[in-house]
Amino acid sequence: MTDEERLARLNERLRQAFIEGAEEDSRRRLGRGLTAEEMERVLRHYPGDVVKPKGASMSRIEVTAAVAGDGWDCSVTVRNGRQTHHRVRVSRADLARLASGASDPVELVQASFAFLLEREPKESILREFDLAVIGRYFPGYEREIGRRLAG
């Protein structure tokens, strides 16, 4: 089953549960099911389907880090159908600047790949690079990563 089919099934189950919950609430409060007019009002309050998030949402990002020189050498695998492999170098200075207080770069690299996958397919991401290079391609990267890691 594809990700799209799983998402469609999930949305179908969520809509059904929403309607069943409204019916159950009506039976409990009013002793009867919903009229057609009441059902229309209930459906107007349905929050909507879960949408397929961009990029990383359906991707699994796996990161391992090994100390190397004055930083880390990270191995990244992105799984979404076919997988891609990447090597990312993170200096201690970059970790301190982008993820203050972190003792290793794993969470920073995962967040960075999620950021990248929202902007380009995994196949377009360089196979090997220094983490700081992302900011050259995407000027808002450092601000966004700081926000993500803080929240």
Domains in the chain: boundaries: 3-44, 55-150
**What letter does residue 53 receive in the DSSP assignment?**
-
Task: Inform me whether the pLDDT recorded for 55 exceeds 50.
Answer: no
Average pLDDT score over residue span 105-123: 92
Average pLDDT score over residue span 3-8: 72
Task: Inform me whether the pLDDT recorded for 54 exceeds 80.
Answer: no
Q: What is the per-residue pLDDT across 75-86, written as a single tens digit (0 to 9) for each? A: 999 988 889 999
Task: Inform me whether the pLDDT recorded for 35 exceeds 60.
Answer: yes
Three-state DSSP string of 89-118: EEEHHHHHHHCCCCCCCHHHHHHHHHHHHC
The residue that leads in pLDDT, 125 or 101, is 125
